[in-house]
A and B are shown apart, each in its own frame.
Chain A
Amino acid sequence: MNAIILSAVWGVIMMFSSILFKNKGAFKYIAAIGLIVLTVANIANTYGCDFFNINTHEMLRYTRFGLFFNTIAFLCTLIYVLLSGKEIEKHGNYVAEYYALIFFVLCGVSILTSFNNLLMLFLGIEILSIPLYILTGSDKRNLKGNEAALKYFLMGSFSTGLMLMGIALIYGGTGSFQIDVVRSATLFGTFSGISFLEVAGLLFMLVAMAFKVSAAPFHFWTPDVYDGAPTVFTSFMATVVKAAAFIAFIKLFEVRIADTSAVINWGMLLSLLIIATLLIGNITAVFQQSVKRMLAYSSIAQAGFMLFAVFSLNDFAKEGLILYAVAYSLATIGSFAILAKMKDITFEGFNGLAKSHPVLAATNTIFLLSLAGIPLTAGFFAKYYMLASVVKTGHYLWLVILGVLFAAVSVYYYFRVIQAMYFKEGDAQAEDVTPGFKIGLIIVAALIILVGIYPQVVLNWLYF
């Protein structure tokens, strides 16, 4: 409860700080303080100190997994705010409001990591999505941004509608909104077969969640939205939010799949989803000319890897998802922060960056290597755990081979950027960066390598 209440309260504080403070630079620090408070409160909650003793009627259930993900989300947002705060200030006069919306998103994240009731899932998804629609359209003069926001909003509300339909059907099938109630005997008497309403409802939920995590074939919004939205907000959308949607996905299906597996081959369904996502994400990313769009497609590809966790649903998958969230969020936040500083965001724009801005080029290389999953970076262990979780289930081993193949494809387009930075002549134009920004990038890169060498540094917190 700490995280949910405090993030909402800090969102309100941010709203009012826009009235109290006129200096744009101050908001970044207020937000950073808020995030530190949130992190501390959430860690306190993890170790059994809940500040608010509220009877949630089992609608929210706190697990170590969810709470730990909250901590990761808050820390990643803290890094994001410190790295990209300057960029947020460039988008109009509503800087404090943007931070307020980010805090509301975090409130949605904390609901999604702890929901035990479909109603809370719906509220969490909505609180997560609505601020994002607004952040996408925050650059009001930019036609592409407007289009992206409208597209995101329409498609997002459509998928929320599907989710509601699914919730209604599940309610019809089980007689309860609680996700762990199988069937209430009082409502359904002695009948103990499979409820097809529940099956249909779960399929609707699958579609809606696949949309939220941008898994193919429900990915159509992703490239346009990620490309059209201001780069700073894209990096937030693609990292913390996406990982949180995955946590919700895994939480929902973990308890539900066994219930209906007699009539639906979930393994086949999910593996089709995974293959489509990996295929479309990776292959389309190869042909992109703009680095921002390439990263958008690559985030679809990364979603394909994270779907392995939903597929295998074991302890390995959960550890892997946490690790993936860390690795992917850090690397994406870093590389988007660099992207936001570039004058030209095509591949040519990166030509010769190593000469003009050696620190940016070096850290960007580490981020991209991590995204590609090269050993000694966090991305390697993230992908390794995902594949290992599938191996552990013992079925569908060909998925692992496909996963490795597509990881190899992804190396190609990530290396195109590295090649442009180091081996091509050109004058890459980047805005002037402060020493603080460089130090921030170096810290993020160091964290990625640290996790890459010693992943237990993250995973141990899941158990101790």
Chain B
Amino acid sequence: MSLMNILLNATEGNNAANYFPIGVQLIFAIGFIATMMIATHLLGPKRKTADKLENFASGIPTHGNARQPIAIKYFLVAILFVLFDVEVIFFYPYAVNFRALGWDGFWKVLMFVGFFVVGFTYIIKKGALTWED
């Protein structure tokens, strides 16, 4: 089966071949970036001096190390984000089947969301998202 045939077949139905254009675009994007990087590397003049290899920090001399341990509160926000992110993902299969599932599905989702709202209220009340404490 040739590549072009896949593209023609893809118009009907919901199958993996629909992702062919996306794949092509992905390959083009990666290929373009790779070509550009290689091209600039080959074509551009190279003058390596100590000053040029310094990290650029708006003209201010750099000091210290970037590998400082960060505060735990960033992590707290990040992990709470992941939890609610996963919750939102569960909405999508529901939204697609919204009509078919009817009230029955609504109550199920409501219960799920209810638990999350409970958790969210708890987080807010506990001040887990307040930055200064």
Contacts and interface: CB of A to CB of B under 8 A. Distances in A.
A200 interface: no
A19 B123 CA distance: 11
11 contacts: A12-B115, A12-B118, A15-B118, A15-B122, A16-B118, A16-B122, A16-B125, A18-B126, A19-B122, A19-B125, A19-B126
Interface in B87-133: 115, 118, 122, 125-126
Q: Identify the 6 closest CB pairs spanning chains A and B, nearest first.
A: A19-B125, A15-B122, A12-B118, A16-B122, A19-B126, A19-B122
Interface of A: 12, 15-16, 18-19
A60 to B, nearest CB: 16
Contacts of B125: 16, 19
B26 to A, nearest CB: 28
Main secondary structure of the interface of A (DSSP, over half): helix
Contacts of A18: 126
A107 to B, nearest CB: 12
Contacts of B126: 18-19
A19 B122 CA distance: 8
Interface residues of B, number: 5
A19 B125 CA distance: 7
Interface of B: 115, 118, 122, 125-126
B86 to A, nearest CB: 14
Contacts of B118: 12, 15-16
Contacts of B122: 15-16, 19
A16 B126 CA distance: 10
Contacts of A12: 115, 118
Nearest to B125: A19
A18 B122 CA distance: 9
B69 to A, nearest CB: 14
Contacts of A16: 118, 122, 125
A232 to B, nearest CB: 22
A19 B128 CA distance: 13
A18 B115 CA distance: 17
B125 to A, nearest CB: 5
A92 to B, nearest CB: 13
A18 B126 CA distance: 9
B123 to A, nearest CB: 10
A12 B122 CA distance: 9
Given A12-B115, A15-B118, A19-B125, 8 more contacts: A12-B118, A15-B122, A16-B118, A16-B122, A16-B125, A18-B126, A19-B122, A19-B126
A15 B117 CA distance: 13
A333 to B, nearest CB: 29
A360 to B, nearest CB: 37
A12 B115 CA distance: 9
Nearest to B121: A16
B130 to A, nearest CB: 14
A16 B120 CA distance: 11
A222 to B, nearest CB: 27
A10 B125 CA distance: 18
B126 to A, nearest CB: 7
Nearest to A8: B115
A18 B118 CA distance: 13
Nearest to A15: B122
A15 B125 CA distance: 10
Contacts of A19: 122, 125-126
A12 B120 CA distance: 12
A16 B125 CA distance: 9
A16 B118 CA distance: 9
Contacts of B115: 12
A10 to B, nearest CB: 13
B5 to A, nearest CB: 32
A12 B118 CA distance: 8
A341 B91 CA distance: 50
A18 B125 CA distance: 10
A14 to B, nearest CB: 10
A19 B121 CA distance: 10
A15 B122 CA distance: 7
Contacts of A15: 118, 122
B112 to A, nearest CB: 12
A170 to B, nearest CB: 25
A91 B125 CA distance: 21
Nearest to B123: A15
B119 to A, nearest CB: 8
Nearest to B114: A12
A343 to B, nearest CB: 32
Nearest to A97: B126
B79 to A, nearest CB: 12
A19 B124 CA distance: 11
A358 to B, nearest CB: 44
A16 B122 CA distance: 7
A12 B121 CA distance: 11
B57 to A, nearest CB: 35
Nearest to A100: B122
Nearest to B124: A19
B116 to A, nearest CB: 11
A38 to B, nearest CB: 18
B111 to A, nearest CB: 10
A80 B95 CA distance: 45
Nearest to A18: B126
